């Protein structure tokens, strides 16, 4: 089974993906590293990839395998399950600030989390989308929640967060 873990940068994809791969005994694939290794896209500081080319290559290399694929473009791949991780936009802001992201990039990503950009894209691309809020949870708790949703056969679970309620708290991060 191919499980894609997607979400806004800083939401916890890499942490959760590695743990989930360990728990399931699946191969862990970092999508950015995979694209670079395969020479897909261009590295202009940030990696710019053609998602169709990425999806085509990924399917050729991983179809029928058991993998956890970690990346914010994961929902563009042909995956059996797409997990969209969510976190309070303030956490995204704090984590990206700690990572030394430029103000502009922090604002862009806080805003993307606030208005559900990746969730909406994932729903356009995939049948089986599971949204998981990581806020106030440990990575282990998040992994347990994902496993439970998958094992109980839940087909779709979305609409579980509404960050419009916390808009005021994240204004300092936004590019207004």
Q: Under the rule (CB under 6 A), what is the footprint of ligand ADP? A: 7, 9-16, 95, 134, 137-139, 142
Residue with the shortest CB distance to Mg ion: 14
Nearest to 127 by CA among 159, 169, 155: 155
| List of residues 6+ apart from 156 with CB closer than 8 A | 127, 128, 129, 130
CB of residue 6 vs ligand ADP: minimum separation in angstroms?
A: 9
Q: Total residues at the site for Mg ion (CB under 5 A)?
A: 2
Q: Which stretch binds Mg ion (CB under 5 A): 14-22, 54-62, 143-151, 157-165?
A: 14-22
CA distances from 24 to 68, 146, 158 (A): 9, 11, 23
The DSSP call for residue 157 is B
Q: Does 14 bind Mg ion (CB under 5 A)?
A: yes
CB of residue 17 vs Mg ion: minimum separation in angstroms?
A: 8
Contact in structure between 132 and 118 (CB atoms under 8 Å): no
CB of residue 136 vs ligand ADP: minimum separation in angstroms?
A: 8
């Amino acid at each position: 089974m191919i499980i894609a873990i997607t979400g806004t940068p800083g939401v916890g994809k890499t942490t959760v993906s590695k743990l989930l791969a360990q728990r399931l005994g699946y191969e862990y694939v970092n999508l950015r590293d995979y694209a670079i290794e395969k020479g897909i896209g261009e590295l202009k500081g940030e990696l710019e990839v053609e998602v169709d080319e990425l999806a085509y290559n990924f399917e050729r290399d991983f179809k029928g395998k058991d993998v956890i694929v970690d990346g914010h473009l994961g929902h563009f791949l042909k995956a059996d399950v797409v997990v969209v991780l969510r976190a309070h936009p303030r956490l995204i802001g704090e984590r990206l600030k700690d990572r030394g992201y430029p103000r502009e990039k922090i604002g862009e990503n806080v805003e993307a989390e606030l208005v559900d950009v990746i969730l909406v894209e994932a729903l356009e691309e995939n049948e089986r989308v599971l949204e998981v809020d990581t806020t106030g949870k440990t990575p282990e708790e998040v992994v347990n929640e994902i496993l439970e949703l998958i094992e109980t056969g839940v087909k779709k679970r979305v609409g579980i967060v509404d960050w419009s309620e916390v808009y005021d708290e994240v204004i300092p991060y936004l590019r207004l």
